[in-house]
A and B are shown apart, each in its own frame.
Chain A
Amino acid sequence: DIQMTQSPSSLSASVGDRVTITCRASQGISRSLNWYQQKPGKAPNLLIYAASNLQSGVPSRFSGSGSGTDFTLTISSLQPEDFATYYCQQSYSTPYTFGQGTKLEIK
């Protein structure tokens, strides 16, 4: 199975900050990497698919990059509604696996 490791596990930041979350795969996964946002008590919401494609309706302050084993999710200017938990997920091969999550908190 492909292991996905996110860093950091938690992060405190302020409104307006630029934030980067990283995700590393245990083997090369090309660009088969997706990012989700989850708020407490809610279902995850797709932000980025295939490493860098912004899902329709997602604000342009979210961006993704990377290929192979190393990927990043960047929020260019944090907004109050962005405080949530973020997960990466590989779709290169089954079993599809997720990172452990990054909890983004208000500083």
Chain B
Amino acid sequence: EVQLVESGGGLVQPGGSLRLSCAASGFTFGDYWMSWVRQAPGKGLEWVANIKQDGSEKYYVDSVKGRFTISRDNAKNSLYLQMNSLRAEDTSVYHCARGGGRSGWWNPWGPGTLVTVSS
């Protein structure tokens, strides 16, 4: 069974940092683009970043450029999102999702991890 499980969320003060992780299983992780997509409480979906199979290409939404870094470790079947200079508007559930490269769609998604930025 294909499975994605995020971890690393929590409460952080504005200006702080967090590193999210996503553990993948049930498929050959290194064969797929991977992405992070977030959803603010009660709001819609927003693509955050994606990364190519070998990590050679990375793309970000403008609102996180220079603050967030997506990375992956294919040997550990893991995806990461380093989030620095966090702002209140970054408060969301962060989902990792398989896909988002040439295909442009995501399947499946992990259940998500909640990041709350508040003092």
A residues sitting closer than 8 Å to B (CB atoms) are 32, 34, 36, 38, 42-46, 49-50, 55, 87, 89-92, 94-101
Instruction: With A34-B104, A96-B104 as known contacts, state yes or no: A44 contacts B111, CB within 8 Å.
Output: no
Which 4 A-B pairs give the minimum distances between C-beta atoms? Answer: A91-B104, A43-B109, A46-B107, A34-B105
B47 touches A87 (CB 8 A): no
B interface residues, how many (CB within 8 angstroms): 20
Which residues of chain B (62-119) have a CB below 8 Å from chain A? 62, 95, 100, 103-112
Cα–Cα, bound, A46→B45 (Å): 13
Residues of B participating in the A interface, judged by any CB pair closer than 8 Å: 44-47, 50, 59, 61-62, 95, 100, 103-112
B62 touches A95 (CB 8 A): yes
Which residues from B are CB-within-8-Å of A100? 44
Chain B residues in 8 Å Cβ range of A45: 107-109
Sample of 5 more A-B contacts, CB < 8 Å, known A96-B100, A98-B45: A36-B45, A91-B100, A98-B44, A100-B44, A101-B45
A89 touches B103 (CB 8 A): no
